[in-house]
Structure 1
Amino acid sequence: MLERTDIEVLLTLDEELHFGRTAERLRLSTGQVSRIVKRLERRIGAPLFTRTSRTVAATPIGARLATELRPLVAQMDAAERRAVEAGRGLAGELHVGFVGAAAGQALLSAVDRFSGRYRDCRVH
């Protein structure tokens, strides 16, 4: 099974196509990024990136792996976010009310922002 750091390096390098920028974004050293890519390539049994002193490009295998992993990582991130929100009590239902028309506009705006941020909490 791939480790989260391995996946993050693969996806970031696929976006950046530059070892230095990948290292900077992930707060790793360039050497660490290089070692992780080499380890992944040994595990897969094929090159994931072609690299010269001037360019980095994903191989067809590397590009396909990155394409297939991206939605899975997004789902994992969403699941973690929902668990954190539930742990903070930000899931379920929220009942709100207001008095006066002026407060209604401000409340509707706040409800829209809240609902967009905390999708697992219904506002009534």
Structure 2
Amino acid sequence: MREPASRAALPIIEFFKKDAAWEVHWDYQEAPESSILFKRQEYLRGYIDGTMDDLGIHPDKVCCASGLTGSVKRLSRPQAVKLHNALERLLNPIVTKEFTRLQNMANLPHLRLVDPE
């Protein structure tokens, strides 16, 4: 039987310099708590699109962007840092709360139906 995880499998969100520009990449981790990202895809996509618009990131710099995975290239350093921080503030709490919820559900006492006779 699989050992229960002690920490939530948070999405990997990273930014780095490539040539003269910066890139931001993110990817969910395969775990039960990550299912919440699939369930809330529409909301997450809207939030991420709005954040990129607010940061002045032109759509032609976006390779893909969803609540699950994304890749945005040719950014300035301030844009990359702000997008990275916004993604962490968005995705990490959602996954962490789902992890806690699943742990609490697993720790509920199981009731047995006993025949009164």
TM-score grouping bracket, smaller chain normalisation:
0.3 to 0.5
> Structure 1-normalised TM-score?
0.31
Task: Please state which structure has a larger fraction of its residues in strand.
Answer: 2
> Structure 2-normalised TM-score?
0.32
Higher relative contact order (CA 8 A, sep 6+): 2
Task: Please state which structure has a larger fraction of its residues in helix.
Answer: 1
